[in-house]
Amino acid sequence: MDGQQIKLSRLLAIQERGIEHNAIALALPPYRKIVRTVTSALVPIIYEYIEMAQSKRGRPGKNLAALPYIKSIGVEKACALAVSSLVNNFARPITYQSMASKIGQAISYEWGILQEDPALVERINKSIHRGSVTSRRYVYLAQYIKKKYDRNIPYIPALARHCIGDLFLSHALQIKNLLKVQSIKRTKHKRQTLITADPVLIEWIQDELRTDSIENPQHLPHLSPIPTHHTTVLKPQRGRHMPESTTTPDSLLVKAADKLNTVGYKINTQQLQFIRELSMRGDETLGLAGHRQPDMPQYLEGMTAEQIQQVRAAKAKCYADRAMWRAKRTNLLTQLGLLQQYINKEIYFEVEADFRGRLYPTANSLSYQGPDWMRSVWSFSEGKEINAENERWLFIHAANCYGLSRLSYESRVVHMRRLYHQMCALVDDPAAEIEFLYTAKEPFRFLAAAREIVQYKQHGPGYLSHLPIFIDASSQGIQIYAALLNDRELMEASNVLPIESGDPRDIYQELADTINEEARVESGSAAAWVRQNPVDRKTAKRITMLIPYGGKLHSAYKVTQEIPHIPSVASVWLAKRLYDTAADMLNSLVKFQDTAEETVSRQTRETDKHSYTWCAPSGVQVTQTYKKQKIVRIQTAIKGHLYSYRSDTDKPNYTKLGAAFVPNFTHSIDASLLCHAVVYSDCVSLCTIHDSIGMHAADVDKVQRQLGLSFTWAIDGMRAELMQLGIPINGTKEIQERGQVPPYPADVYSIPRGPNSYLFS
C-alpha cells in the first residue's frame, strides 16, 4: 500500500512500454530532460561545424550534403529530432548504421512535411488523426497526398540522409556520459559497432524515476484519523515552488481541514461488487471500460475507393480510441484493486488547500472526489437515524442523481416515490435492470441512493443511514456576484432570492431555450443546424460559467467545437449567441469584472509588483503571482512534441494579474463559504467537493440553514475586502468607503431559513 512504490511501479511500466514501442523520449520527465539538455549542448557544436565547413578550403567534407537540409529545418529543431531519435532507441544495443539511419529518417520526414502546403498539414493535425502518434500521422499525410494529388511527399536523397545521420551521431558521441560504444567482432575481418546509453546515464535515469516517485507519490487514504494541523495546509500556486499564500493555525481554513480530516468512511461492498462485475464485461457499460478493446476496421475484397477511404478514416480513429481505452482500462483496474484492500476498514481522507483556499483530498488514486462510480462506493462509517421528518432528503438526493435537480423539492420526492417499485427491482438485480440505470444522469450514485431508500422502507423509521447526501450550489459564481452587486433580478435567476411561485429557477436552461427560440425564427445554415440539433442545458451551462470566472469569447468557441458533427459556421454562430446572451443576462457582473480587472492592473503597475494579495474571509492571505515568461516549444510540423520549457522573467505580467484576479478572488470566496459552513455546522460527518457539501440525511436541514448564514457572511467579508483593496462595486468610479455600500434586500437575511431554500439544493 506504499504510494511511492505504486508510483515507481507505474513509471517503470510506462518506461517499459516506451522501450517496446521506441517512444521513451517523450514518455517520462527524465527522458524529456535528456532531450532538452543534450539538444542544448549539441546546438552550438553543430553551429560551429557549419561555420567551419562553410569557410573550409579544399575538398568538401563528407557530411556537407546534410547542411542545406539542416538549415531548412532549423538547427535547434534538427538537433532535437536527432536527439529524440537517439534517446528513443538507446535503451538496447543498436548498430551505428541503424541509429544513423533512424536519425536521418526522422529529419527527412520533417523536411518533407515542411515542403507541403501548411494549410494541408494543419488540416491533418485537426482531423480524426490528431489522437494518433506522430509517425502514424506522417503515414496518413503521405497516403492523403498520394490519393488526392497522385504524388509522394518529398524525401531527402539517400546520400544526404546518411550524411545527416552520421553528422549528428558522430557529434553526439563526443558528449560526455551520453552514449557507450562497443565494438564486436562478427567475422575474422569484420567488426560491428554497437551503441547504447552510457551506464552513468542509465543510473541517473533510475535515480530520477525514484526521486519523482518520492516527490509525487500516489497518495492513498489513511487508516486512522489525521492529527490536527500545526502548519499551513496550503499548496503553492501552479508554476511556483513554494506557497506564497499564508494562513494561521486558528483560521477557519485550518479548522475546517481538521474537522474534515476526522471524518471516517467505509466502502459500500454491494456497490463495489456490482462495479467489479461490470468491469469484467467485454464492452463498455455505464462508462466503465470493458476488457475488449475497440475493434479495428478491416479492408474487404471488392471495396470501392470511397469505401476504402472510409475504412482508412475509421482505422485512424480506432488507433486513438484504443489509446484512450488502454488508459481508462488501466486506471479502472488499478483503482478497483486498491479499493479491494480497504474493504471492512475505516478510512480517513486528509485534505489540503490550493493557494486560494479551496479544499481537496490529498489522495489522488482513491477519494470521494472523482467519477460517478468512485463516489458511489463511499459511505460514512458513522450512521445517523432517519425518520419521517427527514426521509425526504433520501428521495431528493436520488432525484438529483437521476437528473431532476432543477425541479422543486416536492416534485422530486413525488417523482422518486413513483419510481419506488422500479428501484426495488433495481436493487434486487442491478444487472437485469441495467437499462433503467442508463436513464439516470449519475447511474452509480443513483443505485446507491436506491439501495438506501429500499433499506429504509423495509426497516422503517429509526433506520441507521450511512449514505452521504450532497447538496450543490445552483450556480455559485453567479450567486456570489448577484448578492455582492445587489442585482435583485440576477439573485432571483440564480436562486439567491425566492420567486413568487416558490420553485427554483434554472438560468442555464433559460439560456438554452432563448438560443433555441432565436434559431427557430432566424434564417441561415447555422441557425438551421441548431434547429435540428437544439442546444442542451450542459452546453449552455459550460458557456455561462465562463463569465463569472473570467472566460472570454474564444473559450466559448472551444466549447461549441466539441459538439459532435457541428459545422464550423454553426459552431461560430452558436458560441457568439450563447456568450453574448449570457453576458447580457449577467450584465452587472460583467461590468464589475471589467472594473476590477482594470483596477488591479493599474494598482500593480503603480507599485511595479509581480504579485497581488488580498485576505479571504476564511483567514487565508491569498497571493497570486504572474510574471512574463519566456516559452520555448520545439515540435515537428505535424505537431509532434519534442520538448518545451518556460522560464520566468523579472517583468510583471500586469494583464494576467488583472485577468486572473476575478476567478481567483471568486474561488477564495466560495472556499471561505464552505469552510465557514463546515466549522459552524453542528455535524460530525461532512465532506466537501468544490461548491457542494455532503452530510447525513438527518443533518441536511440544519446544514442548509447554516449555508444560508455562511453565504451572507462570505458576501459581507467580500464587500469589506473589495473596499479595502480600493476596487469599486456596482460600477462606480470612485472608491467607496466602508459603510456606504447599499445593504442587501431584507429578505436575503431571513433567519433561520437563509436566503433561499434552493441556494444549495
Q: Residue ranges of the domains in the chain? A: 3-115+154-215, 476-749
Q: Would you say 124 and 144 are in contact if contact means Cβ atoms under 8 Å apart?
A: yes
CATH of domain 3-115+154-215: 1.10.1320.10
Q: Where are the alpha helices (DSSP H) in 127-181?
A: 134-149, 158-172
Output the CA–CA distances (angstroms, integers) from residue 598 to 362, 495, 612, 726, in the order listed: 36, 29, 13, 12
Contacts of 206 (CB under 8 A, 6+ apart): none
User: pLDDT confidence of 745, banded at 50, 70, 90?
Assistant: very low
Encode pLDDT of 551-572 as tens digits: 888 889 988 988 888 888 999 9
Which uninterrupted H or E stretch holds 694? strand 692-695
**For residue 568, what pLDDT is reported?**
87
Phi and psi at residue 141, in whole multiples of 5°? -65, -45
Examine the pLDDT at 743 and tell me if it is beyond 50.
no
Where do we find the cell 551503441? Answer: 195
CA–CA separation, 111 and 638 (whole Å):
11
pTM over 0.75, yes/no: yes
Cite the beta strand spans of 636-679 per DSSP E: 641-652
Examine the pLDDT at 229 and tell me if it is beyond 70.
no
User: pLDDT confidence of 754, banded at 50, 70, 90?
Assistant: very low
First to last CA, the chain: 37
Q: Which residues pair with 652 in a beta bridge?
A: 627
Examine the pLDDT at 686 and tell me if it is beyond 70.
yes
**For residue 309, what pLDDT is reported?**
82
**For residue 230, what pLDDT is reported?**
59
Examine the pLDDT at 618 and tell me if it is beyond 60.
yes
Examine the pLDDT at 59 and tell me if it is beyond 70.
no
DSSP 105: H
CA–CA separation, 83 and 99 (whole Å):
11
**For residue 737, what pLDDT is reported?**
40
Cell of 206: 533510475
Q: Would you say 403 and 419 are in contact if contact means Cβ atoms under 8 Å apart?
A: no
CA–CA separation, 265 and 224 (whole Å):
11
Which uninterrupted H or E stretch holds 560? helix 553-561
Cell of 301: 475484397
Q: Which residues pair with 613 in a beta bridge?
A: 623
CA–CA separation, 538 and 508 (whole Å):
8
Higher pLDDT, 241 or 56: 241
**For residue 733, what pLDDT is reported?**
37
Question: Of the spans 188-202, 229-243, 677-691, which averages the highest pLDDT?
Answer: 677-691
Output the CA–CA distances (angstroms, integers) from residue 729 to 84, 293, 530, 623, 721, in the order listed: 54, 56, 38, 21, 11
**For residue 61, what pLDDT is reported?**
60
Work out the mean pLDDT of the chain and round it to a whole number: 86
CA–CA separation, 609 and 602 (whole Å):
11
Percent of the chain with pLDDT over 70: 93
- What DSSP string describes 360-406? EES-SSS-SSSSHHHHHTEEESS-EEE-TTTTHHHHHHHHHHHT-TT
Examine the pLDDT at 420 and tell me if it is beyond 80.
yes
Neighbouring C-beta atoms of residue 154, cutoff 10 Å: 12
> Looking at the chain, how many residues does it have?
761
Q: Which residues pair with 471 in a beta bridge?
A: 693
**For residue 143, what pLDDT is reported?**
80
Examine the pLDDT at 416 and tell me if it is beyond 90.
yes
Q: Would you say 141 and 124 are in contact if contact means Cβ atoms under 8 Å apart?
A: yes
Examine the pLDDT at 2 and tell me if it is beyond 80.
no
Where do we find the cell 442545458? Answer: 537
CA–CA separation, 522 and 410 (whole Å):
38
Strands 359-361 and 351-353, how do they pair? antiparallel
**For residue 730, what pLDDT is reported?**
66
